[in-house]
A and B are shown apart, each in its own frame.
Chain A
Amino acid sequence: MKKGTKKAFMILGGIGVGFINGFFGGGGGMLCVPLLNKVLGEKTKPSHATAMLIILPISIASAVTYVSSGYFDLKLTLIVGGGVIAGGIAGALLLKKLNSSVISIVFALLMIAAGIKLAFFS
């Protein structure tokens, strides 16, 4: 891929990733990984790692914007956040032991089910 084309894809991809991540308060990483991996041709593991680095500043900036708009609940954030951190460590450790393709299929089905529920039945 030409350097110019690559830059154009990065800018366009960044626009999409940033918008989605700010609008939905997440999900930018799930778009950034295929951008790096499928569009720009980076290997899978570096794509995941680099996507995290790209998402971090957007998440911080978006979080600040949300909080200053009044979308903030300290108690809930601390309780859920504690669970997220504990779960995150467990998940990282479990990753080596479980069959990840089975988990991603189950996870995908869960996402589809939750998506349909929210889009049509709420």
Chain B
Amino acid sequence: MTAAYIIVGAVGGIIGGMGMGGGTLLIPLLTIFCGIEQHIAQSINLIAFVPMSIVAIIIHCKNKLIKGEYFWWTAVPALFLGVLASLLIKNINGATLSKCFGFFLAALGIYQFVTAVIEAKKAHDKKNGKEKKR
């Protein structure tokens, strides 16, 4: 089973490293394929992505991609609600939490799909436009 855990972690990491929200994939991989309880899967995801995001943030900082003006106004309310929600899940059983997560994941997937298709179409049109000019 250890090998399966490492593979699942690596798949989540690859997607995360590409900046596409690996965590949202790591959690269902852990619950569906490894049979890990929902709360534990969420805890693993939270902890596992801390070191990775620290490294990524340092790199982004060097590339001057971090915009500080958004930080305080967004991060402070987010921090309060984040802790509140983390306390709230104690009152929800694993099966219910997993179901809620499923709805959230499907909605996010639909949004991501639509965005990706629109962007792919834009890139495609741009390419075709250039070819016509030639």
Name A's B-contacting residues (CB within 8 A).
7, 10-11, 13-30, 32, 34-36, 40, 42, 45-46, 48-50, 52-63, 65-67, 69, 71-73, 76-77, 79-95, 100-105, 107-120, 122
The answer for the CA separation of A25 and B38 in the assembled complex, in Å, is 10
Instruction: Choose among B16, B53, B102 the residue that contacts A119 (Cβ–Cβ < 8 A).
Output: B102
The total of interchain contacts (Cβ-Cβ below 8 angstroms) comes to: 359
User: Chain A contacts of B39 at CB under 8 A?
Assistant: 66, 71
- Residue from A30, A105, A109 with most neighbouring chain B CB atoms (10 Å): A30
Question: Known contacts A14-B73, A49-B57, A65-B86; is A76 also within 8 Å of B40 by CB?
Answer: yes
User: Chain A contacts of B43 at CB under 8 A?
Assistant: 25, 63, 66-67, 71-73, 77
Chain A binding site: helix, strand, loop or mixed by DSSP? helix
A to B CB contacts below 8 Å, 21 in the list:
A18-B80, A20-B85, A23-B85, A49-B57, A50-B70, A54-B70, A56-B53, A62-B83, A63-B43, A71-B40, A73-B43, A76-B40, A84-B26, A84-B49, A85-B48, A87-B9, A89-B13, A91-B16, A94-B14, A115-B108, A119-B102
Instruction: Choose among B9, B47, B55, B78 the residue that contacts A15 (Cβ–Cβ < 8 A).
Output: B78
User: Chain B contacts of A79 at CB under 8 A?
Assistant: 2, 5-6, 9
A115 lies within 8 A of B109 (CB): yes
B103 lies within 8 A of A58 (CB): no
Instruction: Choose among A11, A101, A113 the residue that contacts B123 (Cβ–Cβ < 8 A).
Output: A101
Instruction: Choose among A91, A104, A114, A116 the residue that contacts B22 (Cβ–Cβ < 8 A).
Output: A91
